[in-house]
Amino acid sequence: MSFTPETLKDFLEEKYLLYNRPSFIEQDPISIPHLFSRKEDIEISAFLTATISWGQRPSILKNAHRLMELMDMAPHDFIMNAKSDDTKRFRQFVHRTFNGIDCIYFLKSLQNIYQKHQGLEKVFQSGFGKDATDTGKAISHFRSIFFELSHPARTEKHVSEPSRNSAAKRINMYLRWMIRQDEMGVDFGLWKIISPSKLCCPLDLHSGSVARKLGLLERKQDDWKAVCELTGNLRRFDPSDPVKYDLALFSLGVYEHF
């Protein structure tokens, strides 16, 4: 299948419109934050869900829902008021290599962010700054704040660092959820100050494979350089909302085995 730039844009738009609808939510990790209506509950549940979003989706959904149950289905209230004894219930939590030790630190760090840094949105917002053109520096800034407390070295692997050429797929997905203005209601668009034009496309095995077949990505590795290459090409089709095509690329790989 070959495309001109014009027909490729039409193809991506068609697939975006096909998959960017409420029916997409049910089987996707984004369904977990959609359980909530309060802004802080959404952004906290979304962050924790995105953090464990690798592997089989049924397992992701099961474990993410378990996390919410352990937080009494009130993530923000739990984060703000949790004492050391309250976090003991997370000791046995495991999702692949993300274990109870990691989980308890994540809860402590989120508490620090909401009590000392005005919340997740403020931390990312300050990381973007006036001259940022994409999410790279904002993610690095967030990571420095997230690990400012004493923490186990092993836990650092669960927050990617673009400056080390990590694709940072899960954080870019999280930022898509929080920032993209979506009239169909899949993404939340809760964070109004950060422009969707600065978002980077979440890159994983599925989206990377489809992007290469479509001629949107030449780089062989799924790393930060590939993220920038892919996002730059998607910006040619929609400079104001390039990552809307993430839904098309991902769904073409998962549902259509493109």
Q: 83: buried, middle or exposed (CB in 10 Å: 19+, 13-18, 0-12)?
A: exposed
Give the domain ranges of the chain.
5-254
Residue 192: what are its φ and ψ, rounded to 5°?
-85, -25
pLDDT for 88-144, tens place per residue? Answer: 999 999 999 999 999 999 999 999 999 999 999 999 999 988 777 889 999 999 999
* Helices 169-179 and 39-51, axial angle in degrees (round to 10): 160
pLDDT for 36-52, tens place per residue? Answer: 999 999 999 999 999 99
pTM of the model: 0.96
CA 115 from chain centre, in angstroms, equals 23
pLDDT of residue 1: 67
**Cα–Cα distance, 20 to 24 (Å, whole number):** 7
The neighbouring-strand residues paired with 98 are: 95
**Cα–Cα distance, 179 to 7 (Å, whole number):** 28
| Residue 6, token pair as written in the block | 């014009």
CA 176 from chain centre, in angstroms, equals 6
Q: Tell me which residues of the chain have a pLDDT lower than 50.
A: none
* Helices 169-179 and 136-146, axial angle in degrees (round to 10): 100
**Cα–Cα distance, 178 to 34 (Å, whole number):** 12
Interior/surface letters 195-223, b for 16+ CB within 10 angstroms, e for the rest:
ebebbbbbbbebbbbbbeebebbebeebb
